[in-house]
Structure 1
Amino acid sequence: MKKAIEVGIIVVAGILVYVVITLLPLFFQRELKTFENDNELRMAALRSFSSMPKTYDEIIKLTNTNPNNPLTKEKISLGKKLFNDKNLSQNRDISCSTCHVLKDGGADNLPTAVGDAFQENPFHLNTPTVLNSSLYFRQFWNGRVKNVEEQASGPIQASFEMNMSKEEIVKRVNENKNYIKDFKSQNLEVSFENVTNAIAAYERTLVTRGAFDDYLDGDDSAINEKAKKGLGIFITRGCKGCHAGLTIGSQSIQKFPLHSWWNEWLDIEFVANKDFFLPEIIIKDNSFPFENTGGFKGLNNEQKFKVPSLRNVVRTAPYFHNGEIKELKEAVRIMGKYQLGQIFTQEEIEEIVEFLKTLDGKIIE
């Protein structure tokens, strides 16, 4: 009887601790500031965000920042052809645009990238968008390279992506007389570096502008009232702490999650003991608030990730590094709880998502 009572006490205590920890965020909610009018909200927004330029020439001026790869119209045009050329992959069946579908937000809407011979990314990594990527401070989920020129060379050579060597790329490009003419007209030799530079030059022009930019520029009617409420929550609850600037993110590397001790993955198993069945509380891997398919843990395996840009986020599902979360609303809920320590109401989540819709934009051409 004594053993049974001890078992009961342990089980009840474990459940109570779990419930208390789970509910803790409810007691530390940040006060939600309200904004009296559009001017007040806009001024608050402009302290954290800035709008995209309106013209193509302004975009070129903004993104022409690599002295080793100066932008020209001819190079950009060549890069567009190469970006869409399936001949640059081992089996001539995929191109850069296969995984970076511009109409789908610059990604592929798959949980993980699929490359040569239908191979999935070995870490089950979700394809980041190429849109606005030249404005990011680093590239890839762990921020391991500094610009789109370096990024462009990676997938081409990766065995599970395009699976090509530098020599094979040069050979394939030389098979195309039009390419030879394009390179010659620019006084460029056909080299792997010049191929990736051309692709990167084109990627530097893939900059989008949406309704939120119009609102920042003074158009009160550019976004609806629900989106304005979502913007207010985004600002006052702390989302802007990481998702700020011109690209609404992608300007820093951050630990995720910050509050992993709010664990939703609690199991209780009864393990046989020679004296009695004693309960053992087994906590599953709580590195992330979702299953970590692929086992990837970011920079230096420390759960540090490049903060994604939220521009065009409504078109880049599924979410997070391994594409484990399908719905944007659920992604917002997770970020609120595990990154900010905030429990968003369903209404607040819907308002934030309405704001995120205003970040969807068209490529400035």
Structure 2
Amino acid sequence: MIKPFLSTMLTLLCFIGLNQGYTQSSTQDIALSFFEPLPHVMQGAEQDTSALINLGKKLYFETALSINHSQSCNSCHNLNNDAAGVDHLKVSIGALGSIGERNAPTTWNAGLHVAQFWDGRAKTLAQQAKFPIFNVKEMALTSESQVIERLNSKGYLADFNSGFPQQLSPINLENIAQALAAFQRTLISKDRFDDYLAGDKDAISQSEKAGLRVFIDKGCVACHNGAVIGGQLFMKMGIVHPYPNKIDKGKAQVTGNPADNYFFKVPSLRNILNTAPYFHDGAAATIEQAIEDTGWHQLGIKLNEQEVKSIKIFFKTLNNQKRI
């Protein structure tokens, strides 16, 4: 945790000097020094067949993967009607009515992150897919054999045979996870900001460009950069001013290392206006609150009303235009 922390702080300290050099550069050139367009294909998708992806999509919406047939992956990561892959709850509610511990992150672009979950306890999409099925606060199934029996009874064998044609007994937990991962690898968003980064200077408005400059000049790009504008490192929640929630210790609950206390994966800002509420605990109900709180806790600055408004205007360029 020390290396990314120091790297971020050094980045912040450099912004005054960097901004002096920006005066002669175009906003687009400056943006390209921090961001890059999303890839068209996720790493790991090279072997994903249409049969495997279709199986994964079917499983994503399958309620038989919950103890009482009441929930699917889509319940907490809603994709229906071009939704943003979230449930818009502060924290999710499980199949048995249990209250979750953290805000459900979007599944859009998730496979482009450095790790999965707010605490990074899963490194890949396939690893992540296994956790909710047996979590008593989520889907609450009790064994792999129960999962296999349910999917067999619902006629999934043909789908699994198509997705895994070389296997004699293809319905198993590992293949379920691989199929779900294959489908999620197709969830790459598309927005006007990428068009701008790709060379279309008119893809975003002047007010959106002004908001982008505020976003950069205030130091937000220290953590929110790259293709997904975040998702690539873990950062302490409350670097400068302590974050109020001291119950959830984040990555430390996985590693057992006190040095990891309150470290969480930096969220992606792609499609951010459509994924409220915000933060690992869902404490920020609005994007304005999230922007203000991030400025205070992470950067140690009080953003004024116009600055918050301007950053929000920039965020409009990140609205997802892709349909599944």
Shorter-chain TM band: 0.7 to 0.9
Q: State whether residues 313 and 360 of structure 1, in contact with CA within 8 Å, keep that contact through their aligned partners in structure 2.
A: yes
State the shift of 1:248 in Å: 0.4
Matched, 1:81 2:58: yes
Question: In the alignment, what sits opposite 1:149?
Answer: 126
Change (3 A) 1:33 1:107: farther
Matched, 1:361 2:288: no
Question: In the alignment, what sits opposite 1:227?
Answer: 208
Counterpart-to-counterpart distance in 2, 1:118 and 1:226:
44
State the shift of 1:105 in Å: 1.4
Change (3 A) 1:204 1:359: same
Query: Structure 1 runs of 4+ off > 2 angstroms?
Result: 29-37, 62-66, 362-365
What secondary structure does 1:254 align onto? strand
Question: In the alignment, what sits opposite 1:298?
Answer: 250
Matched, 1:191 2:172: yes
What secondary structure does 2:318 align onto? coil
Instruction: Give the partner amino acid of 2:289.
Output: E
Q: State whether residues 30 and 342 of structure 1, in contact with CA within 8 Å, keep that contact through their aligned partners in structure 2.
A: no
Counterpart-to-counterpart distance in 1, 2:323 and 2:285:
28
State the shift of 1:176 in Å: 2.2
The alignment's TM-score, normalised by the length of structure 1, stands at 0.76
Structure with the largest fraction of strand: 1
Instruction: Give the aligned length.
Output: 295
Match of 1:63 among 36, 40, 43: 43
User: 1:39-118 maps to which residues of 2 (within 5 A)?
Assistant: 40-53=26-39, 58-59=40-41, 62-64=42-44, 70-102=47-79, 103-118=82-97
Q: State whether residues 193 and 317 of structure 2, in contact with CA within 8 Å, keep that contact through their aligned partners in structure 1.
A: yes
What secondary structure does 2:321 align onto? strand
Name structure 1 gaps, 5 residues minimum.
Answer: 1-28, 261-286
Counterpart-to-counterpart distance in 2, 1:194 and 1:310:
31
Counterpart-to-counterpart distance in 2, 1:242 and 1:364:
28
Counterpart-to-counterpart distance in 1, 2:207 and 2:285:
23
What secondary structure does 1:208 align onto? coil
Instruction: Give the partner amino acid of 1:319.
Output: Y
Counterpart-to-counterpart distance in 1, 2:127 and 2:104:
16
Instruction: Give the partner amino acid of 1:145.
Output: A
Counterpart-to-counterpart distance in 2, 1:150 and 1:231:
35
Counterpart-to-counterpart distance in 2, 1:33 and 1:198:
49
Q: State whether residues 157 and 163 of structure 1, in contact with CA within 8 Å, keep that contact through their aligned partners in structure 2.
A: yes
State the shift of 1:33 in Å: 6.3
Change (3 A) 1:33 1:327: farther
Instruction: Give the partner amino acid of 1:176.
Output: K
Counterpart-to-counterpart distance in 2, 1:244 and 1:35:
17
Match of 1:168 among 140, 146, 169: 146
Change (3 A) 1:213 1:246: same
Match of 1:239 among 189, 214, 220: 220
| Cα distance per residue 1:207-227 (max 9 Å; x no partner) | 101010011111122111121
What secondary structure does 1:139 align onto? coil
Instruction: Give the partner amino acid of 1:137.
Output: V
The alignment's TM-score, normalised by the length of structure 2, stands at 0.86
Counterpart-to-counterpart distance in 2, 1:350 and 1:34:
25
Q: State whether residues 88 and 277 of structure 2, in contact with CA within 8 Å, keep that contact through their aligned partners in structure 1.
A: yes
Question: In the alignment, what sits opposite 1:133?
Answer: 110
CA RMSD of aligned residues (A): 2.1
Counterpart-to-counterpart distance in 1, 2:189 and 2:20:
30
Question: In the alignment, what sits opposite 2:258?
Answer: none
Q: State whether residues 28 and 201 of structure 2, in contact with CA within 8 Å, keep that contact through their aligned partners in structure 1.
A: no
Higher mean displacement: 342-351 or 355-364:
355-364
Instruction: Give the partner amino acid of 2:195.
Output: D
Q: State whether residues 45 and 182 of structure 2, in contact with CA within 8 Å, keep that contact through their aligned partners in structure 1.
A: no
Instruction: Give the partner amino acid of 1:250.
Output: G
Counterpart-to-counterpart distance in 1, 2:21 and 2:201:
17
| Cα distance per residue 1:72-114 (max 9 Å; x no partner) | 1110000000000111111001100111012331111000011
What secondary structure does 1:354 align onto? helix
Instruction: Give the partner amino acid of 2:243.
Output: F
Q: State whether residues 45 and 185 of structure 2, in contact with CA within 8 Å, keep that contact through their aligned partners in structure 1.
A: no
Question: In the alignment, what sits opposite 2:304?
Answer: 345
| Cα distance per residue 1:274-320 (max 9 Å; x no partner) | xxxxxxxxxxxxx514x55xx21211150100000011111111111
Question: In the alignment, what sits opposite 2:3?
Answer: none
Question: In the alignment, what sits opposite 1:21?
Answer: none
What secondary structure does 1:114 align onto? coil
State the shift of 1:65 in Å: 5.5
Instruction: Give the partner amino acid of 2:98.
Output: Q
Matched, 1:329 2:292: no
Instruction: Give the partner amino acid of 1:128.
Output: P
Name structure 2 gaps, 5 residues minimum.
Answer: 1-14, 254-260
